[in-house]
Amino acid sequence: MSISPTNGSKVALVTGATRGIGLETVRQLAQAGVHTLLAGRDRSRAVEAALKLQGEGLPVEAIALDVTDTASIQAAVQEVARRHGRLDILVNNAGIVAEDKRQTKPSLQPLQAWRETFETNLFGVVATTQAFLPLLHSAPAARIVNVSSVLGSLGAHSDPASPIYEFKGIPAYNASKSAVNSWTVHLAYELRGTPIKVNAVHPGYVKTDMNAGEGEIDIPTGAKTSVSMALLDADGPTGGYFHLGETLPW
């Protein structure tokens, strides 16, 4: 598909952007003037989604990227290197729920569902970030946004007064997001002497396919935290966990 020149604007890549919060994150970053790569595991659906946003006049291009496939990640890195030579913003948004949501006993979710969940939600984030790190270092002050969830908060899960206290049915998903939080803290520590900032976000309980359209907030509001952490200026935080401007308990 045609590529518009970046004209010196920042370059962002959002994983899992064919629908839901990822697609809207692409739209809002592009609306802010960022040249945004809409990454999807299915190239044709990524192209279709990117064409729609280009039709809205936005600087968006499609790229194929399956976060569970090393060859796909490597090919995406090479494509970004060739087209742009750097990456200013990486939003690790792709995520799945692989468990049976009707199950109420955490101990009864099958191990296979744990493996599938971690393959995408944790290993996919780590692998994609490791692979793009050289291109992120090539940008003047890169931002990494890890899309976590409040369901990854051990503080909230262990507090009987928390609204999520009884939400224990999808333990692999919840633990994968706790692990994303831990990875965020570790990577931010490693990068503390650089201009790169790394943060975890909770989008909110958003009306997407992941929740069969149920939720407390619409998709545009659900994308706001990722976008604001992607566009942080130099005095913004790193190694934190946020939702709509508020800090969450780990």
Beta bridge partners of 36: 12, 60
For residues 25 and 223, the answer to whether their CB atoms sit within 8 Å is: yes
Number of residues in contact with ligand NAP, rule: CB under 6 A?
30
Q: How far is CA 246 from CA 5, 23, 221, 234, in A?
A: 36, 23, 14, 19
Q: How far is CA 211 from CA 30, 191, 205, 236, in A?
A: 26, 34, 8, 31
By CB under 6 A, is residue 21 in contact with ligand NAP? yes
By CB under 6 A, is residue 93 in contact with ligand NAP? yes
DSSP string computed for 133-163: HHHHHTSSS-EEEEE--GGG-HHHHT-TTST
Looking at 66-74, 106-114, 155-163, 188-196, which segment touches ligand NAP (CB under 6 A)? 66-74
Minimum distance from residue 94 beta carbon to ligand NAP (Å) = 3
By CB under 6 A, is residue 205 in contact with ligand NAP? yes
By CB under 6 A, is residue 208 in contact with ligand NAP? yes
Instruction: Figure out which of the listed residues 10, 11, 12, 22 binds ligand NAP, where binding follows CB under 6 A.
Output: 22
- SS3 state of residue 38: strand
For the chain, the maximum distance between any two Cα atoms, rounded to a whole number of angstroms, is 53
By CB under 6 A, is residue 210 in contact with ligand NAP? yes
By CB under 6 A, is residue 19 in contact with ligand NAP? yes
- State the Cα–Cα distance between residues 99 and 60, nearest whole angstrom: 33
Of residues 140 and 213, the one with the C-beta less far from ligand NAP = 213
By CB under 6 A, is residue 206 in contact with ligand NAP? yes
Instruction: Figure out which of the listed residues 10, 12, 47, 66 binds ligand NAP, where binding follows CB under 6 A.
Output: 66
Residues 6+ apart with CB under 8 A from 170: 97, 99, 101, 103, 109, 151
Looking at 2-10, 14-22, 80-88, 131-139, which segment touches ligand NAP (CB under 6 A)? 14-22
The contact set with ligand NAP (CB under 6 A) reads 15-16, 18-22, 40-42, 66-68, 93-96, 120, 124, 147, 149, 202-203, 205-206, 208-211, 215
